[in-house]
Amino acid sequence: MEKITQTNPFKAFAQWLDEAKEAEPDNHNAMTLASINAAGRPSARIVLLKEWDEAGFVFYTNLASRKARDLAASNAVALLFHWKSLERQIRIEGFASPVSDAQADRYFAGRPRASQIGAWASKQSAPMPGGRDEFQAAIEHYEQKFAGGPVPRPPFWSGFRLKPDLFEFWQEEPFRLHHRVIFKPHARGERAPDDWERTILYP
């Protein structure tokens, strides 16, 4: 029996994400982000989904990080959600673009203060020749710099939104007889909310 019955991938995603929140309370929004660099070399890492709607899926990063450098070279990216306890995964492919400064500012303002300070102190993905002592000194520097006031968003820290053009929902079944459904936008152009082509795949 077909288990993935939604005709809109965003509605299906919302349902599965809500169920994952109940089943996996620790970082149910964790997702693998796969990117490629200018030489065509792929890389992947776990990041957290921070915002989403039918315009796409948003994550944040230091703009000097490896992932951000990859996105500057190619904005074609893929996401993977895997919820082991539910025996489910969702693959999402599409193209990423920067969020607005206003959106990044709003999100950053809502982060814990320690995370805000850490964003200033971390030269993400860069070598740290002085070890953790060097990092701790940078944290203390910015704690003093912003003492008594709000911490502004660093100019080198922002977010990206992946606009999807493919979803695959996967539900595990015994003997590897899994349920797989993909969604792609219809070819006729600008899509309406439910204007997705739904295809069932062999396991």
Q: Report the SS3 class of residue 136.
A: helix
Whole-number pLDDT of residue 1: 47
Write out the two tokens for 179: 């349920």
Tell whether 7 is in a known binding site. no
pTM of the model: 0.92
- pLDDT > 90 in the chain, percent: 89
Residue 66 annotated as binding site: yes
pLDDT in the model for residue 194: 61
Closest by Cα among 182, 4, 203 to 86: 4
Catalytic residue chosen out of the listed positions 176, 188, 191, 198: 176
The bridge status of strand 88-98 relative to strand 56-62 is: unpaired
| Residue 60 labelled as part of a binding site | yes
**Predicted pLDDT at 6:** 86
Is 132 known to be catalytic? no
Q: Which segments in the chain show pLDDT lower than 70?
A: 1-2, 188-194
Q: How far apart are CA 7 and CA 68, in angstroms?
A: 33
Strand pairing class (30-36; 76-83): antiparallel
Cα separation, 120 vs 143, whole angstroms: 10
Residue 185 is predicted with a pLDDT of 93
User: Please, what are the domains in the chain?
Assistant: 9-112+157-201 (2.30.110.10)
- Asked if residue 142 belongs to a known ligand binding site, the reply is no
The residue among 84, 50, 177 whose CA lies nearest residue 201 is 177
